[in-house]
Amino acid sequence: MDHKSNIASTIAQITGLEVEQVYKLIEIPPQSDMGDYAFPCFVLAKTLRKAPPMIATELAANEKFAESDIYTVKNVGPYLNFFIDRGFMAADTLSAVNEAGDNYGTANEGEGKNVIVEYSSPNIAKPFHVGHAFTTILGNSLARTYKKLGYNVVRMNHLGDYGTQFGKLITAYRLWGDEAALEEDPIKELLRIYVKFHEEEKNDPSLTESARENFKKLEDGEEEEYKLWKRFRDMSLVVFEKLYKRMGVEFDNYNGESFYSDRIPAVVDMLREKNLLEESEGAQVVMLEEYGLPPCIILKSDGTTIYASRDLAAVLYRDETYHFDKNIYVVGIPQALHFKQVFSVLKKAGYECADDCVHVGFGLVKFKNMKFSTREGNVVLLEDLINESVSKVREIIAKNAQDRGDNMTDAEIDEIAEKVGLGAVVYTYVKSGRERDIVFSWEDMLDFNGDTAPYLIYTYARTRSILRKALDQGFAPATDKETLSKLTSDDEYELIKSIGDFPEAVKKAAATYEPFMISRQISLVARNFNRFYNNSRILGADSEELTKARLAVCEAVCSTLKSGLDLLGIDVVEKM
Ligand code: ARG
């Protein structure tokens, strides 16, 4: 039940304020001994001509509050503090969570609304490095989160599959391409010849010319060049898709830059008709001084299109095709100016959909004391990072199993290591606010007691094993409210409250484009659970009733952790 709305409407009735206004004013106190909700009385001072503490005293005595058997009210200074009855909260929260199961946190606020999440968007023929992982992981999480809230989500991968570099690749391939190497590791070979092209080009201007011609032929749809380009694209996609599959990442389409290229003339015509195109140093630009931005180049002086023009065409296509409620771009902070320009050009051209486009930026990826044998150039490949993490986790899991005397099979260990090792990488990207740089270090990532995926997955697996063991002994989690309302200790209260706050965290994550709101909440649930578990007995509690009630808490912890981890793109394991 939504206690906040309930309290807001009672306050509104008593004071004559609008419910929405009251709702917005209600705070969650920083400490739980100050109650579950607090209403600051300052707003009423003017109309009532009284000091806020006095107002709080009078309001607290109002009999409308006394009618509620769900909460009690106390005035502290200028605040009204509301304490939800612990037994009521336990019964109310746990029965709702356990009924929802894995669907806990699901809502329907997005019904009938289309949200586009564009993420990953790597460049064809380039290695998939740890920076692309940031957009991939954030975007995947946002897509899952919006879906959970009932939105119709369109997951788009805006592949970097167009531009003059493909002319260079075609020239380079014809001169130095090695078929066997290409089949073996396409991206490595394509990168090799691309780098070679740039080296050779310094002394041989004819290469530049040949690349330009080849790109022109590609744009004109000449068969030979198109075929080569298509082959490079397909080969790269095979590599990317393998990685996506491993990570549980999916897309509804790969409409990349090339997809929009033949829609650009219409954009240019539209801008020209609206008198927005101006010539500047030979290029065609849209001036944006009224937005405090530098001009946005639409056509280069040689008439070729650029990145921004393809993005303009993409927004218009998406608007037409999906009538989006939101069009979200998960792209690094360095491209912030680019997106401001694109959205402002559209705004200037009178497109309302410009206001529904959002750039969701993120920070840089760094490494602390980590050595990598970098396969390609000096970037760290995501695949190498994941492999290394999985193999380190495997060692830990195998050792733990051995210490416990548990004969897990190699296949079992492999499966657990894959999920936990991958989860450890993914979690590092979503455990803090997205605009902060992240620093990878094995100690932090793989700390089974830290704020990590291994810790959360381990907490889940152990809780599942408690439930299995209880079932073997004939105990099933309680479902009736009377039994559930016995959970009123401080540890139980804190834990259940953190479980109950999960749906709100999911909504906040979507509204602020911050998956970290979810990771923070489930991490709190896991900590609260571990405290509760250390201090109280589950099997062998004072009464059978209490055992069953506590098992219901275990079940709710599992649903919350699983649901939250799934929203982050992390799988759980049943045993670890
Ligand atoms: N391919 C680009 C890169 O790797 C990112 C594309 C971002 N999306 C967009 N619509 N411009 O930097």
pLDDT digits (tens, 9 = 90+) for 79-110: 999 999 999 999 999 999 999 999 999 999 99
For residues 551, 556, 558, 561, the Cα torsion angle rounded to the nearest 10 degrees is -150
Measured in Å, residue 223 CA sits from the centre of ligand 1 at 27
Of 2, 3, 10, 5, the residue nearest 66 (C-alpha): 10
User: Measured in angstroms, how far is the CA atom of residue 125 from the centroid of ligand 1?
Assistant: 14
pLDDT surpassing 70 at residue 428: yes
pLDDT of residue 246: 98
SS (H, E, C) 245-261: HHHCCCCCECCCHHHHH
160 Cα nearest atom in ligand 1: 1
Distance 122 CA to ligand 1 centre (A): 7
292: which 2 tokens?
């405090």
The more confidently predicted of residues 374 and 320 is 320
Q: How many angstroms separate the Cα of 328 from the Cα of each of 153, 167, 325, 509, 519?
A: 11, 31, 10, 14, 21
pLDDT category at 367 given cuts 50, 70, 90 is confident
Contact 493, 89 (CB under 8 A): yes
Pocket-testing residue among 331, 346, 359, ligand 1, by greatest number of atoms within 8 A of Cβ: 331
Q: In sequence order, what DSSP letters do the residues of 262-303 get, joined into one string?
A: TTHHHHHHHHHHTT-EEEETTEEEE--GGGT-PPEEEE-TTS
- The protein residue with its alpha carbon nearest to ligand 1, atom 5, reads 121
* pLDDT, mean of residues 335-359: 98
The pLDDT tens digits for 188-216 are 999 999 999 999 999 999 999 999 999 99
Residue 221: which residues within 8 A CB-CB, separation 6 or more?
none
Q: Is the CB of residue 360 less than 8 Å from the CB of residue 138?
A: yes
In order, the DSSP letters of 84-149 are E-HHHHHHHHHHHHHHHGGGTT---TTTT-EEEEE---PBTTS--BHHHHHHHHHHHHHHHHHHHT
Global confidence as pTM: 0.94
State whether residue 352 is helix, strand or coil: helix
Per-residue pLDDT tens digits for 495-504: 999 999 999 9
Q: Is the pLDDT of residue 1 over 60?
A: no
**Residues counted in the chain:** 576
> Taking a C-beta distance cutoff of 8 angstroms, is the pair 109, 507 a contact?
yes
| Residues involved in catalysis | 126, 129, 132
Return the pLDDT at 379: 80
| Cα 333 to ligand 1 centroid, rounded to whole Å | 11
Q: Report the alpha-carbon distance of residue 334 to residue 266 in Å, rounded.
A: 28
Question: 369 CA to middle of ligand 1, Å?
Answer: 30
Q: Is the pLDDT of residue 370 over 80?
A: no
Mean pLDDT of the chain: 95
- Which residue ranges have their beta carbon within 6 Å of ligand 1? 118, 121-123, 158, 160, 311, 329, 331
Please report the pLDDT score of residue 377 as a whole number.
56
Strand partners of residue 123:
160
Counting ligand 1 atoms within 8 A of each CB, the residue from 118, 120, 121, 264 with the most, and so the one to mutate, is 121
Residue with the nearest Cα to atom 3 of ligand 1? Answer: 122
Interval 281-319: pLDDT, tens: 999 999 999 999 999 999 988 777 788 999 999 999 999
Please determine, for residue 16, whether its predicted confidence score (pLDDT) is greater than 80: yes
pLDDT > 90? residue 33: no
CA triple 205-206-209, angle to 5 deg: 95
The whole-number pLDDT of residue 291 equals: 97
Question: What is residue 40's three-state secondary structure?
Answer: strand
